[in-house]
Amino acid sequence: MPIQAETRTRKAVKHNAKSSLLDILSRSLAAGAGGYVASYAFTGALALALPLQPLELAYLATALSFVLYPVLVIWAFAAATPVRAWAGPLLVTALSSPPWLWHGTLA
Amino acid sequence: MKGRLRLSMAWLHTWGGLLISWLLFAVLWSGTLAIFAPEITHWMQPERQQMATSADKIINADAALRYLRREAPDASAWFIDLPNPRAPVIQVAWTEVQTGMRHTRIVDARTTAGTTPRPSEGGEHFGHFHADLHSGTLGIWLVGLTGLLMLVAIISGVIIHKRIFKDFFTFRPRSSAQRSWLDGHNAGGVLLLPFHLMIAYTGLICHFAIFMPAAVNLYFGGDEDALRSEVVQRHAIKPANEPGVLKPVAPLLQRAETILGADSVHMMIVRNPGDLHASVQFYRDVDDRLALVADHATFNMVTGELLGSQTEWNPVARSFRAMVGLHMGLFGGWIMQWLYFLAGLVCSAMVASGLVLFSIKRRTKHASASRGQRNFYRAVERLNVVAVPGLIVASAGYFWANRLLPVAMSERASTEILVFFLLWALTAVHACARPTTAAWREQLAMAAILCMGLPALDMCTAGNALSLSVARKDFIPLAVDLTALAFGLMMAAIAYRLTAKPKARQRGATAPLRQAPTAGTPGILT
pLDDT in tens, A47-96: 999 999 999 999 999 999 999 999 999 999 999 999 999 999 999 999 99
Q: Please tell me the distance from the alpha carbon of residue B466 to that of residue B460, in angstroms, as a whole number.
A: 10
Q: B519 pLDDT exceeds 50? A: no
One-letter amino acid at B255 equals R
- How many C-beta atoms surround the C-beta of residue B357 within 10 A? 22
Interval B40-56 mean pLDDT: 92
- The CA-based dihedral angle spanning residues B359, B363, B364, B366, taken in that order and rounded to the nearest 10 degrees: 140
User: Which range, of B184-198, B217-231, B472-486, B494-508, averages the lowest pLDDT?
Assistant: B494-508
Nearest to B120 by CA among B133, B136, B104: B104
Q: Please tell me the distance from the alpha carbon of residue A32 to that of residue B145, in angstroms, as a whole number.
A: 10
Interval B284-306 mean pLDDT: 96
* Minimal Cβ distance to A55: which of B8, B11, B317: B317
Q: Please tell me the distance from the alpha carbon of residue B348 to that of residue B492, in angstroms, as a whole number.
A: 18
**Interchain proximity A57–B219, CB inside 8 Å:** yes
One-letter amino acid at B523 equals G
Whether residue B231 lies within 8 A of chain A, CB to CB, comes out as yes
Contacts of residue B316, Cβ cutoff 8 Å, sequence gap at least 6: A52, A55, A56, A59, A60
Q: B346 pLDDT exceeds 70? A: yes
Q: B187 pLDDT exceeds 70? A: yes
What local confidence, expressed as pLDDT, does residue B517 receive? 38
Interval B116-139 mean pLDDT: 96
**Interchain proximity A58–B211, CB inside 8 Å:** no
Q: B505 pLDDT exceeds 50? A: no
Partners of residue A59 in chain B, C-beta under 8 Å: 208, 316-317, 319-320
Partners of residue A67 in chain B, C-beta under 8 Å: 201
Partners of residue B5 in chain A, C-beta under 8 Å: 78
**Mean residue pLDDT across chain B:** 90
Strand arrangement of the beta sheet that strand B306-310 belongs to = B114-115, B102-107, B90-95, B77-81, B265-271, B279-284, B296-300, B306-310
* Local structure of residue B107 (DSSP, 8 states): E
- How many C-beta atoms surround the C-beta of residue B394 within 10 A? 23
- How many C-beta atoms surround the C-beta of residue B385 within 10 A? 24
Q: Please tell me the distance from the alpha carbon of residue B488 to that of residue B133, in angstroms, as a whole number.
A: 25
In percent, how much of chain A has pLDDT > 90?
A: 76
Nearest to B486 by CA among B371, B338, B356, B324: B338
**Interchain proximity B212–A17, CB inside 8 Å:** no
Across-strand partners of B282? Answer: B268, B297
Q: B312 pLDDT exceeds 60? A: yes
**Interchain proximity A6–B155, CB inside 8 Å:** no
pLDDT in tens, B431-447: 999 999 999 999 999 99
Q: How far is A94 from chain B (nearest CA, A)?
A: 16
What local confidence, expressed as pLDDT, does residue B327 receive? 98
* Reported confidence tier of residue B525, pLDDT bands at 50, 70, 90: very low
What local confidence, expressed as pLDDT, does residue B334 receive? 94
Interval B387-398 mean pLDDT: 98
Q: What are phi and psi of B269, to 5 degrees?
A: -125, 130
Q: B69 pLDDT exceeds 90? A: yes
What local confidence, expressed as pLDDT, does residue A71 receive? 97
* Minimal Cβ distance to A58: which of B152, B204, B227: B227
What local confidence, expressed as pLDDT, does residue B225 receive? 94
- Answer with the residue of higher pLDDT: B86 or B501: B86
What local confidence, expressed as pLDDT, does residue B433 receive? 96
Whether residue B4 lies within 8 A of chain A, CB to CB, comes out as yes
* Reported confidence tier of residue A20, pLDDT bands at 50, 70, 90: confident
Interface subset of B 272-331, CB within 8 angstroms of A:
314, 316-317, 319-320, 323
Which residue on chain B is closest to A77 by alpha carbon? B8
- The CA-based dihedral angle spanning residues B178, B180, B183, B189, taken in that order and rounded to the nearest 10 degrees: -80
pLDDT in tens, B191-248: 899 999 999 999 999 999 999 999 999 999 999 999 999 999 999 889 999 999 999 9
The DSSP string of B267-336 is: EEEEESTTBTT-EEEEEE--TT-SS----EEEEETTT--EEEEE----HHHHHHHHHHHHHHT-SSHHHH
The DSSP string of B57-106 is: HHHHHHHHHHHHHHH-TT-SEEEEE--BTTB-SEEEEEE-TTT--EEEEE
User: Contact at 8 Å (CB) between B403 and B461?
Assistant: yes
Interval B499-521 mean pLDDT: 42
Partners of residue A32 in chain B, C-beta under 8 Å: none
Which residue on chain A is closest to B228 by alpha carbon? A55
**Mean residue pLDDT across chain A:** 86
For chain A, counts of helices (H) and of strands (E): 5, 0
One-letter amino acid at B55 equals A
What local confidence, expressed as pLDDT, does residue B131 receive? 97
* Minimal Cβ distance to A66: which of B9, B204, B209: B204
One-letter amino acid at B69 equals R
State pTM to two decimals. 0.90
Across-strand partners of B267? Answer: B81, B283
Strands B114-115 and B102-107: antiparallel
**Interchain proximity B7–A13, CB inside 8 Å:** yes
- Answer with the residue of higher pLDDT: B367 or B354: B354
> B93: buried, middle or exposed (CB in 10 Å: 19+, 13-18, 0-12)?
middle
Size of interface A-B (CB pairs under 8 A): 107
In percent, how much of chain B has pLDDT > 90?
A: 78
* Reported confidence tier of residue B145, pLDDT bands at 50, 70, 90: very high
Q: What are phi and psi of B78, to 5 degrees?
A: -110, 135
Partners of residue B212 in chain A, C-beta under 8 Å: 39-40, 43, 62, 65-66, 69
What local confidence, expressed as pLDDT, does residue B164 receive? 62
Q: B369 pLDDT exceeds 90? A: no
What local confidence, expressed as pLDDT, does residue B526 receive? 33
Contacts of residue B305, Cβ cutoff 8 Å, sequence gap at least 6: B299
Partners of residue A53 in chain B, C-beta under 8 Å: 314
Q: How far is B513 from chain A (nearest CA, A)?
A: 16
**Interchain proximity B3–A9, CB inside 8 Å:** yes
Whether residue A57 lies within 8 A of chain B, CB to CB, comes out as yes
> B199: buried, middle or exposed (CB in 10 Å: 19+, 13-18, 0-12)?
buried
Q: At what angle do helices B436-452 and B371-385 cross, to 10 degrees?
A: 0
Q: Please tell me the distance from the alpha carbon of residue B110 to that of residue B53, in angstroms, as a whole number.
A: 7
- Answer with the residue of higher pLDDT: B517 or B282: B282
Whether residue B246 lies within 8 A of chain A, CB to CB, comes out as no
- H or E stretch including B265? strand B265-271
User: Contact at 8 Å (CB) between B126 and B115?
Assistant: no
